[in-house]
Amino acid sequence: MQGLIAGLVWTALLASPDLATAKQDAVPVFDIAHSCLEARAFIGNDQNLAYKGCVKDENDARAELARKWTHFKPGDRRDCVAQGAAPMPSYVEILTCLEMSDEASALYNPDGTARAKPNSASQGQSGPQPVTPSGNSPAPAAPPGPDGVPKSEGSPPAPNLAE
């Protein structure tokens, strides 16, 4: 009997696009206490501190997801929620996935072609841009000697400690 009721509920949910869409348009709700309890088994000595840190991180990530949720593409939200829901649900993982997807999509045009690098398009140049050293840059490395180890100029040889 319970199987029949569950089947009817799923059929009703799938038949009603508004209900299915409403679920996708909101940040999912996870039992982070359970996830953090499970995760603390993999943490060092202070499991209580690890649990508290986990809960704080998850709550912070959930709050940030709530603020940014509509900014992310629906397909990315769906994919990242599926990835972040198992084996241990994590808002941190979902947020990281969405931010990476968002940054990666900024590298490409809608047709999938790579976008031009900011400097090369504006200056009409192509290829790598020359790098000019600043006053804070370290000196270039010395060329390697016959043994493949860079020669050091101006430094005394290292003492032989094998004697």
What is the residue extent of each domain of the chain? 26-105
Q: How far apart are CA 112 and CA 108, in angstroms?
A: 6
Could you give the CA distance from residue 116 to residue 77 in angstroms, rounded to a whole number? Answer: 27
Burial of residue 118 (number of CB atoms within 10 Å: 0-12, 13-18, 19+): exposed
Question: What is the per-residue pLDDT for 1?
Answer: 44
How much is the average pLDDT of 12-17? 34
Q: How confident is the model at residue 160 (pLDDT cuts 50, 70, 90)?
A: low
Contact between 77 and 24 (Cβ < 8 Å): yes
Q: Which residue has the tokens 């999509």?
A: 105
Which residues, in sequence order, are bridge partners of residue 144?
150
Q: What percent of the chain has pLDDT over 70?
A: 57
Report the interhelical angle of 91-105 vs 47-68 (nearest 10°).
40
